[in-house]
Structure formats: structure tokens, C-alpha cells
Structure 1
Amino acid sequence: MKITKIETTPFAIPYRKPLRFASGEVEVAAHVLVRVHTDTGLIGTAEAPPRPFTYGETQASVKGVIDSIFAPQLLGMSPLAREAVHAKLDRTVGNPAAKSAIDMALWDLIGQSLGVSVTELLGGYTDRMRVSHMVGFAQPGEMVEEAERVRDRYGITTFKVKVGRRPIQLDVDVCRALRAALGDDVELYIDGNRGWTASESAAALRALEDVGLLFAEELCPADDVLGRRWLAAQSRIPLYADESATKQGEVTRELLAGAAHGVSIKTARTGFTYSQRVLSQCSGLGVEVVIGNQIDGQIGSLCAAVFGSAFELTSRRAGELSNFLDMTDDLLAEPLRIERGELRVPQGPGLGLRLDEDKLAHYRQD
């Protein structure tokens, strides 16, 4: 089996409402569908969600780097030659979403060729994951209303609360309102998207100690080296690295420097191959992880669920798998379903997905 073509299709699907957080705002899912074709007729599929305010990638840059640099290098290679593929991809710095989409599409191909699911190939621990839902910036009452609606309709009982605003009291009030409305059986954690300074983060964490947060994610920038260490040393709430730990070296740096107590793994930026290596690092150091989300559509959320369900460590916590609920539509012929707070992974070969070609034709931007 050889790679004969890598096809990139930009598409755009509106969100039901703007999603707001400290590092940016999105109104439309302007993503890139990546399909790797082979001489056997099999096609591997994945989704690249660019996040210019975090990694610098755009829809145009993802398509451009794959079409002009990556695809010509990979034509004629075997999808099984993942190490050789990554050696070629890594000659170009950055571009994590573009590289990850290619990697996941290759795993999809390998699973299809063997007649087994990617979850089985990776580890096969379980066939489902508990789901965490992200609640974006709004007034306390609106955020409580959204969380209650998602809990009542989908059975989700874990919520990621976006924080990082000034004054910090607004976000403190939001967390307290959510805890009061949802009760003690619901899990809450916060994500600052680098919006606060270390001192602001410390003040917020002190004010939230009695709210019962699972952890706090990326409250201040990675460049605040001493501030992050100072914050982690005194916080009674575990701190998780996200944007500061986008590749293996950064994960090692953050953990060994004492700047974080856990790591968010996102298949949208490390694919399956490098996500597996990050997970091994964390497991070897006795560090907990959470499966994060890059505001993925259903294809990206499926990839995150496929990886998260493959391993015991990633299955312990609810994964961030529900951002597609905020989109007005999607590209899968058989949409993902969240029932009783869980997302079951499709059992077909590879990723087990099938595209709705009519929807793709409607939303494509080229």
C-alpha cells in the first residue's frame, strides 16, 4: 500500500453562537479536511482545526503547507512507515495541526487495511469515554443555564469553565454559581488560556479553594517561567499544562521545572503517534493527564475519543469531546452521539467514520 495523493479540503461551518475565551473567539469552524489516498483504494481521513491565536496556523496555511511541502515528500511512501513519514514532516518546524491530521489519517489507513479499529491498534482499553463540556465566556447566569442544559440533555457531569478575565472576581463568581446550581456531584475545572498573571492566578485559586475544582489549566503564559513555578509551588489546586506543552520537549520542561502537575493531551496538535509518546512520558513520571479539545468538529472529537479510550490513564478523566455540539452542522454521515454522559467510539475498521459527501460539497470553501 502506497500513498498516491493527499487531498486537502477547506470547509467552514458556523457555530450556534460565538465561543469566547481569554486567548480568542471563534464564530465559524474554518477547518481543513485531510484525506490520504492509496493505490489500494483505501482513504484515510482526519481533520485539521487551525488555531491562529494559539499555534499560528490558519486554514490557508494548513492547506498550503500540506499541498506544497508535505504531500510531495510523502507520495509513494507506505502508511506503515510512520517514523520515516515524521522524519520528513519534522524537517519543517511548527504546523502541528497539519502534521497531526496527516498522522491520524495514516493510522486510519492502517486500521482499515488490517480490518481493526485504531483504538485496538493503540491499546484497546475500552470502547467509550466520559465527556467533559466546555463553557465559554458569558455572564454567570448564562453559563449556568448552558451547563444545566447540557447536563439535562446529554447526561454530562464534568465541565471545563473558561476563565482569565479581568477583574478575576467575575470568573470566581461564575465558578461559585456553577457549583451552587449543579451541586457537588458535578466535576468542575478551569482553563485560563494564559489570560492571567501569576499573581492574579494565585488570588483566583485562593478564592476558589472551597469550590472543589479538579484542576486549573494554563492560567498564565508559558514565558512566565518563574511566575509559573512560584504559582505551582503554592497552589493547592493541581495545575495542568496545555498550550505550554505542545510537544514532547515542552512537556518534559514543564513537568521537570515544577511548573505543572498534569498535562492536557490534544490529538489535534500531536496526532496519535506523538500523543502516545507524551502519554508515555506522563505515565513514566506518574503524572495525570486529560484529553483536551482544540474546538474540534466531529471528526476531530472522534479522533480524541479514539485515542483517549485506548489507554487506562487517559480514560480516568472525562475527555473534552463535546465542542461539536456548538456547531450548526458537521460532515459525518453517522453523527457522534453523547448519551448518559458518554461517547462511544465507532467499532468499524480504522476510525470507523463515513463522510456525508453532500454536506462536504455544501460547506467546502474551494
Structure 2
Amino acid sequence: MKITQIDAIPFAVPYRKPLKFASGEVHAAEHVLVRVHTDDGIVGIAEAPPRPFTYGETQRGIIAVIDGIFAPQLVGLALTEREVAAARMARTVGNPTAKAAVDMAMWDALGRTLGLPVTELLGGYTDRMRVSHMLGFDEPARMVAEAERMRDQYGISTFKVKVGRRPVSLDVAVVRALRERFADTVELYVDGNRGWSAAESLRAMKAMADLGLLFAEELCPADDVLGRRWLVGQLDVPFIADESVPTPADVTREVLAGSATAISIKTARTGFTGSARVLHLAEGLGVEVVMGNQIDGQIGTACAVAFGAAFPLTTRYAGELSNFLDMSDDLLTEPLQISDGYLHRPPGVGLGIDIDPDKLATYRTDQ
């Protein structure tokens, strides 16, 4: 079970339509496929999604740090030496999605070696999760139409609405249109991607006070320390920290400072090993968690559902597991399927997914 090679392969799959939000927009999944090879002939896989406007990582940077720093440090380790791998990668500052992808590919390889699903290795609580769909910036009628399509075609009844535009009334109108269209048959929450000030955030939340929102997420900048604490103290819904909590230490600081009352766990950011630390920290602090989405493709979504299905707390709310539906294609031999509002973890060992070599040859960008 020793690691013999780690690959980092760039690929790009276009989106049918761009996902737009306060901190940027995405037109193609320009991600990195990470493969961990072992001396038993096993290959574990994961993907790293660069988000330069959030974490400063680029596709070329992820490849460089894996090829030049992580791979030489990790080749020769056993798949069970995950803490050694994490400690060695931690010596390099930043690069969260690169580290996460290597970690998850190791877990996938371990599951394949042992003949067990990763979900069972992690905790084995269930085999599925309810799905939440993210709605990016658009006109109210178009966002309502997208929500209708997701409900009718996939049974999804929880929607995360991207907000953070100016004037605030643009986004208030969207959320109100969604609530008026669906009444109480859907769950709604909002994500500002740090686009508003604390004062704008409070005005918006007061304007939406009658809409029964489930959560509010990252409405204002994380470095507005006093404004953020003030805002969270005024809200009567849980305030999710996301981009502000890339590490367990950040989770501790945000929650104990009164700057957040819930946490978004993203396996694309903290892998399986780090996500377990965040989850257990959240349990100890008594805060809610939501399985977030790093605008993952199907590989990343398979990782998210594998982790989320493993624990009771991560299945309490719908996970953000559907935005791969906006991609024009993907790399898997068997696409993920959402039905009746649920995504089941793929059957099989490890993550339960495999890469289609023809699709990889089509979409990889290093040849």
C-alpha cells in the first residue's frame, strides 16, 4: 500500500452557462485531476478546483506544488500514513485544494485496496444525502425558472441563492420571487460571498425577515471583524462561515469570536482528513454544519457525498451537490444521478467512481 507516484493532470470542461456570484464567475471547470498510484497497482483519484478569487490557487499553481513539492515528500509513504502526509504538506503555506485532493485520492486508494467504500471507512452513517442547488446571479424570472427545473427534473427542494449585489434590492427581489413561487414547499438560504457591508447585510436580512430563510452565509467581508460580530448578533438565523474558515483554527476563531454560528464544510478545501477535524470541532462547539460546494465537478461531488453521508451531523441539512449539472460533460465512466432530491454515493469501493480515458484525453489540456 505504498505510494509510488502522484499525477496532477489539468483539464477543462465548459459550463453550459456561467455561474455568477459576488466574488467572481466561472465559465469552465478548469480543474486538476489528482491520481495517487500504489505499488499494488491501485490508483486513487480526486480533483482540485482552482479558485484564485477565493484562495489564490490557479490550475498551474496546483500542478506545480503537487509535482514539485508534495509528490517528492509523499512517495514511499503507506496509504495509512495520512497524518504523516498531512504534516508534510502542512509545511507548505496555503494551497488548500491541492492538499485536499491529494488527501482524498489517498483515501480513495485505501478504500480500493481494502475493498470498502470511503463512506464506510469514515463513519458509514448512510448512503445518500438530500441535495441543495446553488442559484447564481440572474434576473428573478430566470432564477425562478431554474429552480422550477431543478425541482421538477431532480426533485430538489432546497436552494442556496447567491446574493451580494448592489443595490441590495436586486437580490431581495429574487429571494422574494422564489418564496412567492414556491411558498413553503422549498427551503431557501442566501450566500453573499462577502459582497455586502455589514450594514447592507442587515438591511437585506430585515427586508427578507418574512421569507423564512434557513441560513445566511458570508454576507460581508471576514476581515470586517467588528462589523461581522455586530451583524451576527442581530440575526435570528444561523450565520454560515465559509471562505473565512479554511482551517480548523479559523473555525475556532470565528465561532468563539461570535462571527459565525454555523460552518460550511468543503471536502475540496479540507479533504477528508481535515474535514473530519472541522466536523468534530463543530460538534464540540455546538454549531450547525452544511456540506458546501466549491463549484465541484462530478469527481469533487462524489467526494463531498462520500464524506457527508458518513456522519449524522452532515446529513441534517441538504448538501450543495448539484452544480455539476451545469457542466457540459465530465470525466466519469458512470455519471452521478440525482433523483427525488437525493444523491446516493456511487456503489463500489473507494469513491465508487472511475475515469473514462477517452473523456480525459478529450478534456486534458497538457497535451
Q: Does the alignment reach a TM-score above 0.5?
A: yes
Which residue identity does 1:97 align to in structure 2? T
Gaps of 5+ in 1: none
Q: CA deviation at 1:346?
A: 1.5
What pairs with 1:224-303 in structure 2 (closer than 5 Å)? 224-303=224-303
Output the CA distance in 2 between the equivalents of 1:132 and 1:357.
30
Match of 1:44 in 2: 44
Deviations 1:49-97 (A, max 9, x none): 0100000001000001000110011111111101111111001000000
Which residue identity does 1:272 align to in structure 2? F
Output the CA distance in 2 between the equivalents of 1:113 and 1:75.
17
Q: CA deviation at 1:249?
A: 0.5
Deviations 1:234-284 (A, max 9, x none): 111221100001100100000000111100000000000010000000001
What pairs with 1:298-313 in structure 2 (closer than 5 Å)? 298-313=298-313
Which residue identity does 2:184 align to in structure 1? D
Which residue identity does 1:18 align to in structure 2? P
Output the CA distance in 1 between the equivalents of 2:132 and 2:317.
9
Output the CA distance in 1 between the equivalents of 2:44 and 2:64.
19
Output the CA distance in 1 between the equivalents of 2:312 and 2:30.
33
The 8 Å contact of residues 217 and 240 in structure 1, kept in 2 or not, is answered as: yes
Gaps of 5+ in 2: none
Which residue identity does 1:190 align to in structure 2? V
Which residue identity does 1:348 align to in structure 2? G
Match of 2:5 in 1: 5
3-state secondary structure, aligned to 1:171: helix
Match of 2:57 in 1: 57
Match of 1:189 in 2: 189
Match of 2:351 in 1: 351
3-state secondary structure, aligned to 1:29: strand
Match of 2:204 in 1: 204
What pairs with 1:319-338 in structure 2 (closer than 5 Å)? 319-338=319-338
Match status 1:215 vs 2:215: yes
Output the CA distance in 2 between the equivalents of 1:83 and 1:92.
15
Report the count of equivalent residues: 366
Match of 2:30 in 1: 30
Output the CA distance in 1 between the equivalents of 2:4 and 2:82.
16
Deviations 1:288-319 (A, max 9, x none): 10000000000000100000000000001000
3-state secondary structure, aligned to 1:182: helix
Which residue identity does 1:55 align to in structure 2? Y
Q: CA deviation at 1:143?
A: 0.5
Match of 2:88 in 1: 88
Match of 2:168 in 1: 168
Output the CA distance in 2 between the equivalents of 1:343 and 1:87.
33
Q: CA deviation at 1:349?
A: 1.0
Output the CA distance in 2 between the equivalents of 1:133 and 1:119.
22
Output the CA distance in 2 between the equivalents of 1:328 and 1:149.
17
Q: Percent identical across equivalent pairs? A: 68
3-state secondary structure, aligned to 2:18: strand
TM-score (norm 2): 0.99
Match of 2:314 in 1: 314
Match of 1:67 in 2: 67
TM-score (norm 1): 0.99
Output the CA distance in 2 between the equivalents of 1:182 and 1:67.
49
Q: CA deviation at 1:347?
A: 2.3
3-state secondary structure, aligned to 2:277: helix
Which residue identity does 1:85 align to in structure 2? A
Output the CA distance in 1 between the equivalents of 2:282 and 2:184.
29
Which residue identity does 2:193 align to in structure 1? N
Which 4+ runs in 1 deviate beyond 6 A? none
The 8 Å contact of residues 209 and 237 in structure 1, kept in 2 or not, is answered as: no
Deviations 1:211-245 (A, max 9, x none): 00001000011100000000011111221100001
The 8 Å contact of residues 205 and 237 in structure 1, kept in 2 or not, is answered as: no
What pairs with 1:120-159 in structure 2 (closer than 5 Å)? 120-159=120-159
Output the CA distance in 1 between the equivalents of 2:165 and 2:200.
10
3-state secondary structure, aligned to 1:184: helix
The 8 Å contact of residues 79 and 106 in structure 1, kept in 2 or not, is answered as: yes
